[in-house]
Chain A
Amino acid sequence: MYKNKYIKIIGSPKIFSFTVMWMMVLVFIGTLVQRDIGLYAAQQEYFSSWFKWVFFIPLPSGKLTMLVMFINLSCYFIRPNILHKSKLGITTTHSGIILMLVGGAITSFYSREGSVVIEEGKTANYYEDYYAKELIIIDSSKPEYDFFTTFNSKLLYENSILNHDSFPFQIEILDYFINCKPSSRIYAGDENFKGMSKNFFLQEIKPEKEYEQNISGVIYEVTGTDAEDGIYINYVGQPITQTVTVDDDEYMVILRRERTYLPFLLSLVDFKKVMHPGTNIAKSYSSDVNLIENNVPRKVLISMNEPLRHREYTFYQASFIEDGLTQTSVLATVKNYGRLFPYISTIIMCIGLLYHMLFILSRRFKISNK
């Protein structure tokens, strides 16, 4: 059947059966553990990684399993006679699945997710990542402009040294916590503690099940400023900005969710929500948004199940924050190049399977007519 016996082995349905079996084990365990470690962590461990380490044994994780599946399925197309009318349905279905796996790969490597949070009457031009954080240093000494230096959270590990020409000191990361809690010091701190760390320290705590709720924090030492040298702390949502002053120039240090800037502006005109009468169950909510691009404003309504698609971005009405009279809309933002793959592959698979079923049925009828 195959010209090459290796391809025959690699493309064997036996391998596929076992891959599927392994995938089922992964899916099953990966679902169960969500109860304890939450969705994001389970996804990282079981599905979005190449290996799952059980003690010292590397077991193939979701990504690798799907890659094996992809290679195995691809070998199907080297088979002879796949375009014969009895095989046509199966071939179409398999190509649909391949397309879907390709789409999944593109999405997992290139898609970006985050959320735009806008208060009513305000404007936003960036979205914040759900998970990744960044440490920025702002040099506001120039009257005409501020100078931003950004280090993303991959650089925030123990003993990592951050420096750049844009600021005249050096930062050494002493510790970085995915989730932490600022607690006040009982004893007066060491003289070495500067800023907020004089009175507070960061206590590392277990990551939350909902990864977005984690408050990340960083402890670092600043050197090269003489007077301001010392140990500082920063965490996401810190109420007082940390500053380092060198020669009368003030530098702000902020740890925040990683921002990505949009090539246009979004301003929230009005946020509306409708409840089921007499209850606290939301019936629908929507945001009246002005999309401003090149100074041309355009009115858009983003509501539940009716997102705004603009350029390669999609904005969905995800939730809202109500604080007294001010309403804040939270728009989930996705930048995804693989978005159309599932749609196309679904149609292909649908055609393939229908053809195959009809083909089998018609053959049955032919047999029974004989």
Chain B
Amino acid sequence: MKKYILPILFVFQICLPYDFSYKDLPIQQSGRIKPLDTYARTHLLQFYGKQEIKILEQDIENLTAIDWLYLVLSDPENELDRKFFNIRNPEVAFSLGLEKNDNHKYSFKNIIEGFQLNQELLEALKIKSEEEQTLVEKQVIEIYQNILAYDDIAHSAYCLLPLIEINNSINREFMGINDDKMLSYSFFMRNIGKFKVLLEDLLATEENDWKESHYELSKIAMQLQAMTKFHYAQSLKIIPGVIEDEWLSPWELMDGRELETFQKEILNFYENLFYAYVSKNNNSRDSLSTAIVYSIDSNIEDININLLNKETKYNSYDIFLWSMICYLVSFFLIGISWMIKPLLFRKISLSSMALGFLLHTYGIIMRMIIMQRPPVSTLYESILFVGFILVLFALIFEFFRKDTLGILVATIGGVILHFIGFKYAADGDTLGVLVAVLNSNFWLSTHVTTITTGYGVSIVAGLMAHIYLVLCIIKPKNKKMLDKVFNNTYGLTLMGLFFTMFGTILGGIWADQSWGRFWGWDPKENGALLIVLWHLMMLHLRVSGLVGRIGYAYGVCLVNIIVAIAWFGVNLLNVGLHSYGFTDNVATNLFLFIFFEIAFTSILYFFAKRSKSLI
């Protein structure tokens, strides 16, 4: 069968680009099937800190994650010298006895030597419990784990590499080889039946009677024996298995088990793929990739191959980065429009804003398609979605009011949230699978969507209140405009109350449906409740006349802090059911934000009061 596939594909190759490239090859990791591209990016991010290796020499392009992965897989020994492990903390580098260097990058060999020289450190750290470890110690352990992971990846395709030569015509004929390419470990394991016959012949023959073919065979046998030492490298789960959706790595298939026909076929494709890669034949590389994907598709159920190249595309587009750039452009244009040609620049700014918003939406939709789940399931997704809602509401606002305030709110909020999102995306693969309780549930998805909408609207209300205070200071006499902005802020607070309140109650209903209690005073629930209570308090303070307009706006400004606490702060407590994301430096950023927000709004409040009293 495979004899025909290749020529047919060869014909196709001339007229059509391939459906799948070497980036799209499926791999199973962290519970889902993803393209190799994502796998490469996640690991490069883990080791190097970025998704692309910068090459300092001129004339050479930067190394993308996927090309790095292929380099590592196809030439592991040389790659051990590449200085790309990122150790930013000089204390960590020093404790491993590594020399200082300017870009904080070290090679596998450097670090391994460092660990060998400081074995007591590692031994001591293994016993210490996680709570007692200092930051430096945690980082040392992290590096140790990275080194192990890297070693595992580097040799995981070793059995597929063309490293073995077979020249003797008798051996060649017997093994059925008719081209002159080098062979891999996997080739011999696939054809173990034939090879066994040769080996048995070798054992049966006295060493004195050995012919040339026998000498070659014994050499090959020794070579194979030597390669077996890498069988521990099993992290590359690229070949479908036969039990319970669990995929296998090439080395796992080499352990002498009976192989299925399709597994042999895929192994063969992969051997050829690496041969094509080593011999720099890009066309057959991609045709083979396509063949592998189709072969997997036709042999196992429950795989949607179209999602593979969608995900690769999603990875390469940097959609949210472009969306942020659009927002930024729009922000500067709005500033210009206040000085010259207001109508023209407002229009350009609005279109840039709209473009950014479209990209934002497109990115979220793409993620929904790839993961086949509702828009918000993880903390990272909630940031994307709150940004989306915020911009959406601000744009609706702009549509009715046409006075650039909506654009201003949208750009500021959009840029800041995108920026926070990038920080979270730097943790690794953002498209992760979910634990059982978060997996597909009607109430959960409605709850999360509503509450994040509530966050978004509350932030819009908060930003609007900022603008109101600023306007009170700079244009205290323009009563009509102030009235309008105040009424808008008031309306937005009502809407924020609406969404956060129902989001919270829906959360309770989800909890009731899933584990039998409506409310349990869990930190995340309390956080959401705080926002609701804050809105309620502000509204009733206003209704009862205890605060005036400026006081009300001041209170609504502070709702941003409450949102930040509810959204990120409760994760820092690390208790309860909802703590799904934890990052160390979040705490510092959060405190800084709270401090500056309080200081800033208090100053605004003070001056707004003063300019009002001056009238």
Contact = CB atoms under 8 A, between A and B. Distances in A.
Given A17-B540, A357-B498, A278 B237 contact: yes
Contacts of B541: 13, 17
Interface stretch (A28-36, A218-226, A244-252): A28-36
Q: Is the interface of B mostly helix, strand, loop or mixed?
A: helix
B32 to A, nearest CB: 7
Interface string B485-525: 00100010011011001100110110011111111111100
A24 interface: yes
Contact of B501 (A305, A318, A349): A349
A66 to B, nearest CB: 12
Interface string B535-555: 011001101101000000000
B437 interface: yes
Nearest to A13: B544
Interface in A266-317: 275-279, 281-285, 304-305, 307, 314, 316
A277 B28 contact: yes
Contacts of A100: 505
Contacts of A208: none
B522 A39 contact: yes
B530 interface: yes
Given A14-B544, A47-B521, A357-B494, A276 B573 contact: no
A102 to B, nearest CB: 13
Interface in B572-600: 573-576
Contact of B514 (A35, A305, A360): A305
B482 to A, nearest CB: 16
Contacts of B574: 35
A250 to B, nearest CB: 39
Interface in B244-266: 244-247
Given A34-B573, A304-B439, A342-B505, A281 B433 contact: yes
Contacts of B514: 304-305, 316
A43 interface: yes
Contact of B573 (A32, A334, A364): A32
A39 B520 contact: yes
B527 interface: yes
Contacts of B437: 304-305
Given A284-B436, A284-B439, A279 B533 contact: no
B512 A282 contact: no
B516 A346 contact: no
B515 A339 contact: no
A135 interface: no
A316 to B, nearest CB: 5
A253 interface: no
Contacts of A350: 502
A137 interface: no
A334 B516 contact: yes
A343 B28 contact: no
Given A14-B544, A283-B439, A285-B436, A43 B521 contact: yes
A13 B545 CA distance: 9
B536 A20 contact: yes
B29 A278 contact: yes
A113 B537 contact: no
Contact of A342 (B31, B439, B508, B576): B508
A59 interface: no
A24 B537 contact: yes
Nearest to B576: A39
A173 interface: no
Given A30-B526, A32-B573, A334-B517, A282 B544 contact: no
B441 interface: yes
Interface residues of B, number: 59
A21 interface: yes
Nearest to A48: B521
B32 A24 contact: no
A282 B530 contact: no
Nearest to B499: A353
A31 B523 contact: yes
A261 B323 CA distance: 60
A349 to B, nearest CB: 7
A30 B525 CA distance: 12
Contacts of B505: 100, 342, 346, 349
B567 interface: no
A218 B265 CA distance: 68
Contact of B31 (A278, A332, A357): A278
A45 to B, nearest CB: 11
B529 interface: yes
Nearest to A349: B501
A16 B535 CA distance: 12
Q: Which of B246, B509, B523, B574 neighbours the largest number of chain A CB atoms within 10 Å of its CB?
A: B523
Interface string B428-448: 000001111101010000000
B557 interface: no
Given A276-B31, A346-B502, A21 B529 contact: no
A46 B585 CA distance: 30
Contacts of A24: 530, 533-534, 537
Interface in A123-139: none
A20 B513 CA distance: 28
B594 to A, nearest CB: 13
B570 interface: yes
B279 interface: no
A27 B543 contact: no
Contact of B247 (A38, A278, A318): A278
A202 to B, nearest CB: 27
A215 interface: no
Interface in B49-67: none
B30 interface: yes
A353 B498 contact: yes
Q: Which of B518, B529, B575 neighbours the largest number of chain A CB atoms within 10 Å of its CB?
A: B518
B516 A107 contact: no
B573 A35 contact: yes
A111 to B, nearest CB: 8
B435 to A, nearest CB: 6
Nearest to B529: A27
A163 interface: no
A117 interface: no
B386 to A, nearest CB: 21
Nearest to B433: A276
A316 B518 CA distance: 13
B516 A314 contact: yes
Q: Which of B244, B516, B536 neighbours the largest number of chain A CB atoms within 10 Å of its CB?
A: B516
A307 B516 contact: yes
B526 A31 contact: yes
B246 A277 contact: yes
Q: Which 7 A-B pairs have the closest CB atoms?
A: A276-B31, A13-B544, A334-B516, A277-B245, A279-B31, A20-B537, A31-B526
29 contacts: A13-B541, A17-B537, A20-B537, A24-B530, A24-B537, A27-B526, A28-B526, A31-B521, A34-B575, A34-B576, A39-B520, A42-B521, A113-B516, A276-B31, A278-B28, A278-B246, A279-B30, A279-B31, A279-B433, A283-B439, A304-B436, A304-B439, A305-B437, A316-B516, A318-B515, A336-B516, A343-B509, A346-B505, A360-B491
Interface of A: 12-14, 16-17, 20-21, 23-24, 27-28, 30-32, 34-35, 38-39, 42-43, 46-47, 100, 104, 107, 113, 209, 275-279, 281-285, 304-305, 307, 314, 316, 318, 332-334, 336, 339, 342-343, 346, 349-350, 353-354, 356-357, 360, 364
Given A20-B540, A28-B526, A31-B523, 9 more contacts: A27-B529, A35-B574, A276-B433, A277-B246, A281-B434, A285-B436, A304-B439, A305-B437, A353-B494
